[in-house]
A and B are shown apart, each in its own frame.
Chain A
Amino acid sequence: KAGVTQTPRYLIKTRGQQVTLSCSPISGHRSVSWYQQTPGQGLQFLFEYFSETQRNKGNFPGRFSGRQFSNSRSEMNVSTLELGDSALYLCASSLGVPYLNSPLHFGNGTRLTVT
């Protein structure tokens, strides 16, 4: 069974630009979550989508948005990039059943560098 696939692996953008990251979940998984990993803040929850609806949201500004398609694939968008947005962005998928036997499975991430 293929794992969670994230594209691209690496991205370099300039301040003020916008970026779109893509995530394909494990087949059969209906929940997709996004996390930001930085050296200072660790892994922080961005948002979660289930059946094309945002079900949970973290404490990030409105510049961070996402969506999920009918095939469960998800995209994350960051507009008006700032230097502090440089991070590893991780996508994770799960069956979506509240906690029992439904751990998150992570992709290898997209490394975003903002210059």
Chain B
Amino acid sequence: DQQVKQNSPSLSVQEGRISILNCDYTNSMFDYFLWYKKYPAEGPTFLISISSIKDKNEDGRFTVFLNKSAKHLSLHIVPSQPGDSAVYFCAAARGNQGAQKLVFGQGTRLTINP
């Protein structure tokens, strides 16, 4: 049972444009969501998070949007840069278990073309 789904295995975007990565979840008990970026041969790197009391969180070029009624979150990267090419994972957690027990999506490979 895939509780967190990233339906696009890959995404290709031109440098300078907006990259939008999507994630859906099924468990309404999730109340904390995170995005991680992963380069080959490295562990995932934390990017940005959002709790369910908010619908938007911004950090520089990265913005995460949360639509609780649709059980959907998205990561916007503006403007996209070549160094953003990586695999992006969304993850979810239940508050009473903390962010130490994350449920991850399958990942989306983002390629930024010059």
A binds B: yes
Chain A residues close to B by CB (< 8 Å): 4, 31, 33, 35, 42-45, 48, 50, 55-56, 58, 90, 92, 94, 96-100, 102-109
Pull 17 A–B residue pairs with CB atoms less than 8 Å apart, ordered by A.
Answer: A4-B43, A31-B98, A31-B100, A42-B105, A43-B102, A45-B101, A45-B103, A90-B44, A99-B51, A100-B51, A103-B46, A104-B34, A104-B100, A106-B44, A106-B45, A107-B43, A108-B42
B95 CB contacts on chain A under 8 angstroms: 98-99
Report whether B34 and A103 are in contact in the complex, using a CB–CB cutoff of 8 Å.
Answer: yes
Residue of A nearest to B94 (CB): A99
* Number of residues on chain B facing chain A (CB within 8 A): 28
Report whether A50 and B100 are in contact in the complex, using a CB–CB cutoff of 8 Å.
Answer: yes
User: How far is it, in angstroms, between the C-alpha of A17 and the C-alpha of B98 when the chains are bound?
Assistant: 34
Q: Determine chain A's interface SS by DSSP, over half rule.
A: strand
User: How far is it, in angstroms, between the C-alpha of A109 and the C-alpha of B95 when the chains are bound?
Assistant: 26
Residue interface bits B4-44, CB-to-A below 8 A is 1, else 0: 00000000000000000000000000011010100001111
Q: How far is the CB of A39 from chain B (nearest CB, A)?
A: 10
B104 CB contacts on chain A under 8 angstroms: 35, 42-44
Additional A-B contacts beyond A55-B100, A103-B46, A104-B102 (16; CB < 8 A): A31-B98, A33-B102, A35-B102, A35-B104, A50-B100, A56-B101, A97-B98, A98-B96, A99-B31, A99-B99, A100-B51, A104-B99, A107-B43, A108-B41, A108-B42, A109-B43
Contact of A98 among B36, B44, B46, B99 (CB under 8 A): B99
| B88 CB within 8 Å of chain A | no
